[in-house]
Amino acid sequence: MKIVVLAGGTSTERDVSLSSGSKIYYALKARGHQAILLDVYLGLEFNEPVTKGLFEKDIDWAKDIRAVSESHPDLSRLKEQRKDGGRSMFGPNVLALCELADIVFLGLHGANGEDGRIQAAFDLMGIPYTGTGYLSSALAMDKGLSKQLFRQAKIPTPAGITLKNGQQADPASVPYPCMVKTVCGGSSVGTYRVERPEDLPDVLTKAYTFGEDVIVEQFISGREFSVGVIDGKALPVIEIAPLQGYYDYKNKYQPGSTVETCPADLSSELTAQLQGYAEQVFEALKLSSYARIDFMMDASDDSFYCLEANTLPGMTPTSLLPQEAAAVGMSFEELCEKLIEVSLARYRQA
């Protein structure tokens, strides 16, 4: 098939996305597909007419992609790289190439990629893509809305409040330690653990730099898990244990920073319970194709709490979904093929 892998973009997860995209791109090439890797924002400056022949050119589209750095990227100079000033999210020739593809593999993460906007544009243009649709993407991306749906579906989630537009909470009304998160962030960017009431106002101010709304929620002390779901069926559970601190941006993407165990060391009863919750989340958010659901287990009573759903989970060398797939004998290349298969099935059913 002719496949465009879309990565990059303008979110704080840009570098992670480029790493995911390059790994997906090489896997698809190895499977015999005619693949092109594009940065959705920077696009492709090309003097010749864009035709299907571009898919057949002998070009390594990922040769300049670097490993994910320890800190999230500085996006302030990104617009300077666009000759047109960068008003559109789609860079030069991106839409033209996507329209020529059999499917677009979305390797995007975070805002302007995982929040349903690009999915909605593609739906209007009749461009098939991997992953869930625009509405479920938007619901999952907004942690405040998704937590409301978790509660409605009786899925346990940490207690918390949503603050809007620079609003400050009364520090005395919050339990400590607590977590402060930007509502529409990802990869733990804009996420802070707060130990003392006097630290909360400054932390909220920092969190608002990543978006208008933030969540202040109960801190769950215990073990962290994630469960991939493909076509509504849960994969084996993976446990994440950072060697230092919590599972932040650095610990997620720097090899050797975190011990990941799959299948997780849980009883069969607890494993089944956690997989059941993951499948319930998939249904509650009206997800399709695939996703990855993150949980904490309270050390005091082994109860689970759902943190969030990721509709375009990472596909980097350290990412969790590929490790879960490997636990059931699925190689990374086979996983990419499977994600295309379940995504295309959505269009056949429409």
* Least confident window among 8-12, 58-62, 169-173, 304-308: 169-173
Asked, for residue 153, whether it belongs to a domain, the answer is no
Inside any domain, residue 152: no
Domain-embedded: residue 143: no
Q: Which of 49-53, 232-236, 340-344 has the lowest mean pLDDT?
A: 49-53
Residues annotated catalytic, as ranges: 13, 187, 253, 292, 294, 308, 310, 314
Closest to 201 (Cα-Cα) out of 163, 223, 171? 171
Q: Are residues 284 and 343 in the same domain?
A: yes
Query: Does a structural domain hold residue 145?
Result: no
Question: What is the CATH classification number for the domain harbouring 79?
Answer: 3.40.50.20
Q: What is the total count of domains within the chain?
A: 3
Model confidence at 251, pLDDT cuts 50, 70, 90, reads very low
Give the CATH number, domain containing residue 176.
3.30.1490.20
Q: Tell me the whole-structure pTM to 2 decimals.
A: 0.89
Provide the pLDDT for residue 185: 60
Per-residue pLDDT band for 318 (boundaries 50, 70, 90) equals: confident
141 within domain boundaries: no
**Cα-Cα end-to-end distance for the chain:** 21
Looking at residue 110, what DSSP letter applies?
S
CB 261 within 8 A of CB 241: yes
Preceding peptide of 158 cis, ω within 30°: no
pLDDT range class, residue 250, cuts 50, 70, 90: very low
CA distance 279 to 132: 14
Tokens describing residue 340: 């295309």
Residue type at 280 in one-letter notation: Q
Establish if 147 belongs to a structural domain. Answer: no
**Is 268 part of a structural domain of the chain?**
yes
pLDDT value of position 138: 95
Residue that the structure tokens 């015999």 belong to: 32
- Provide the mean pLDDT of the chain: 89
pLDDT given for residue 243 in this prediction: 76
* Residue 266 and residue 331 in one domain: yes
Measure the CA–CA gap between 102 and 33, rounded to whole angstroms.
10
DSSP state of 14: H
178 and 78, same domain (yes or no) = no
> Do 168 and 275 belong together in one domain?
no
Residue at which a domain ends, from 201, 218, 235: 218
Residue 205 falls within a domain, yes or no? yes
For residue 241, what are the domain limits? 222-349
Domain boundary among 218, 235, 254: 218
Q: Hunting for tokens 């349903």 — which residue is that? A: 116
Q: How far apart are CA 108 and CA 261, in angstroms?
A: 25
Which helix (H) or strand (E) is 94 found in, with range?
A: helix 94-100
DSSP helix, strand, coil percent of the chain (3-state; round to 5): 35, 20, 45
Claim to verify: residue 322 and residue 206 sit in the same structural domain: no
Q: What is the pLDDT of residue 67?
A: 57
Q: Same domain, yes or no, for 116 and 103? A: yes
Higher-pLDDT residue of 65, 234? 234
Handedness of CA 267, 147, 251, 23 (dihedral sign): positive
Average pLDDT over residues 299-317: 93
Distance CA 277, CA 155 (A): 7
Q: What is the DSSP string of 182-227?
A: ETT--TTTTEEEE-SGGGHHHHHHHHHTT-SEEEEEEPPPEEEEEE
Angle (CA) 138-105-249 rounded to 5° is 60
Q: Are residues 268 and 206 in the same domain?
A: no
Burial class (CB in 10 A: 0-12, 13-18, 19+), 320: buried
Residue scoring higher pLDDT (319 or 235): 235
**127 band by pLDDT with thresholds 50, 70 and 90:** very high
Query: Do 255 and 343 reside in the same domain of the chain?
Result: yes
Q: Are residues 210 and 125 in the same domain?
A: no
The set of residues, in sequence order, having a beta carbon less than 8 Å from that of 126 and lying 6+ positions away, is: none
One domain, residues 214 and 231 = no
Q: What is the DSSP letter of 165?
A: T
Residue 110: pLDDT band with limits 50, 70, 90: confident
pLDDT tens column, 157-205: 999 888 887 788 888 888 889 999 888 765 456 788 999 998 998 899 8
If asked whether residues 192 and 241 sit together in one domain, one would say no
210 and 189 assigned to the same domain: yes
Instruction: Report residue 256's pLDDT band, with 50, 70 and 90 as the boundaries.
Output: low
Question: Which of the listed residues 170, 196, 218 is the one where a domain comes to its end?
Answer: 218
- pLDDT tens digits, one per residue of 29-66: 999 999 999 999 999 987 778 999 999 999 999 987 76
